[in-house]
Amino acid sequence: MDPQELRNMLEKLHAELKQTESIDEQGRQMLHSLMHDIQEVLARSGEDESLYPPLSRRLAEAVKHFEVSHPKLTLAIGQALDILSQAGF
């Protein structure tokens, strides 16, 4: 996986997560966890790929949770999930 491509995608997703409004409490907690996971992956970019599988699982859960209520967010999360799955995570 191209580390720069992953970094760009995660930065884009992080920005989208920060802009998301009007969500339920479960969604808010989910977004908070995703933002933390993304910051962790970005901080350790290229050093610790063991962080990717947990992030992939959380992204998949977020897609299910937000697919109806936040289609733009779901698209961004889905793109991140696709990149990680193409890399085998």
Q: What is the pTM of this model?
A: 0.76
Encode pLDDT of 15-69 as tens digits: 888 888 788 889 889 888 888 888 887 787 667 677 777 888 889 999 999 999 8
**Structural domains in the chain (count):** 1
Q: How far is CA 33 from CA 2, 61, 86, in A?
A: 24, 11, 23
Mean pLDDT (whole number) for 73-89: 84
Residue 87 has pLDDT above 80, yes or no: no
Task: Determine the pLDDT at residue 39.
Answer: 82
Task: Determine the pLDDT at residue 46.
Answer: 66
Where in the sequence is the domain holding 65, given as residue range(s)? 3-86
Alpha-carbon distance of 34 to 55, in angstroms, equals 7
Tally the C-alpha atoms within 13 A of residue 82's C-alpha that lie toward its C-beta: 9
